[in-house]
Amino acid sequence: MKAMKRIAILVSAFLSVSAAHSETTIDNLVNASRTIAAKLEQGRHAVYGAEHYASVGGIIDYNAVDDEQYIINSGDIAAYNDALNGVRNALYFTTKMKLEEKYEESMVKVSEAVDNFVVASVQLSMVEEVAEVAEVAQETNNVADQTAVQEFVEVNDVEIKQETVVEYNQSLEEIAVNARDAGAFLAASKNEQLTSLSDQHAQDYGNSMAEASMSYSATSDVLSIEWATNIGSISFHDFLQGDYVSAAEVLGEGEAIYADQQAYMYQ
């Protein structure tokens, strides 16, 4: 049975889902600039009208030009400058951008873990040669082949160091965790339904995606987005099931890639 997509929203006890939208830096700039623009437009009308009536002997009302609806005051300028600074200093981040950032962070960790794996696996690769030589002696049960095994282990550095095994095992664990996270964040960034819902939700609660923390649980297919304020946290359940790949698929793809690399190296 196909799981139904669900969205869970965590709000504070004193904030309802219908809470008013918090003003963003763009909202502030629109309001401040429109206030001045409206006065400027009315001022033009007043000036041209006053000039016309002056030229034909019309006596204008004093307030027809020198009026608060035309005058740009210090409060208007302060609000406009504050809004400009807010825009200059703001980080405009969408859910897609945040997910892509998390993907890049996870891929850096994957690359580091892969490098550690390569170093450890090269150090352990002598075991493969030991196995090949020993298998020959096992199959033939020949004293000469058995002696060859003995000579091989005496001449070559075939000891396995515990620290190498630890590094090998740890790199596998780190690759598993970070590769899974990277894949999930990238898949989520391409899910337009998820990103649009998240963007709207963040806007509704006045939250910045730049300040959000994200985590993913592969066991339950839950992408969680939280803020330090604990207001408006949201989680997406079962949105990424279509992007799952099985262990068999991972091994099969990896085997094909490794075979291609080996063929290229020895061609």
Q: Which of 89, 121, 140 is the last residue of a domain?
A: 89
Q: How confident is the model at residue 250 (pLDDT cuts 50, 70, 90)?
A: very high
Evaluate whether residue 115 is within a structural domain.
yes
- Domain extent for 35: 22-89
Q: Are strands 222-226 and 213-217 parallel, antiparallel or unpaired?
A: antiparallel
**Structure token pair of residue 168:** 């090998």
Q: Which of 58, 89, 120 is the last residue of a domain?
A: 89
Evaluate whether residue 17 is within a structural domain.
no
The span from the CA of 63 to the CA of 82, in Å, is: 30
Evaluate whether residue 14 is within a structural domain.
no
More confident residue, 203 or 130: 130
pLDDT recorded at residue 192: 95
Most confident of 26-40, 76-90, 184-198, 226-240: 184-198
Selection from 230, 228, 217, 236 nearest residue 95 by Cα: 236
Q: How confident is the model at residue 236 (pLDDT cuts 50, 70, 90)?
A: very high
Q: Please report which helix (H) or strand (E) contains residue 233, including its range.
A: strand 233-237
pLDDT recorded at residue 18: 28
**Structure token pair of residue 127:** 């075991």
Selection from 29, 174, 8 nearest residue 90 by Cα: 29
The span from the CA of 154 to the CA of 148, in Å, is: 10
Evaluate whether residue 148 is within a structural domain.
yes
Q: Can you state the percent helix, strand and coil of the chain, rounding each to 5?
A: 65, 5, 25
Selection from 208, 210, 123 nearest residue 162 by Cα: 123
* Residue 162 and residue 30 share a domain: no
pLDDT recorded at residue 210: 84
Mean pLDDT of 139-162: 91
157-216 pLDDT, tens digit per residue, is 888 999 999 999 999 999 999 999 999 999 999 999 999 999 999 888 888 888 899 999
Evaluate whether residue 5 is within a structural domain.
no
Q: What distances in angstroms separate CA 76 from CA 71, 104, 122, 206, one per listed residue?
A: 10, 43, 69, 24
Mean pLDDT of 145-161: 91
Please state, rounded to an integer, the average pLDDT across all residues of the chain.
86
Q: Which of 67, 89, 111 is the last residue of a domain?
A: 89
2-52 pLDDT, tens digit per residue, is 555 767 665 432 333 322 333 478 888 899 999 999 988 888 888 888 888
Selection from 41, 175, 156, 182 nearest residue 102 by Cα: 182
Q: Is 223 helix (H, G, I), strand (E, B) or coil?
A: strand
* Residue 137 and residue 43 share a domain: no
Tell me how many domains the chain contains: 2
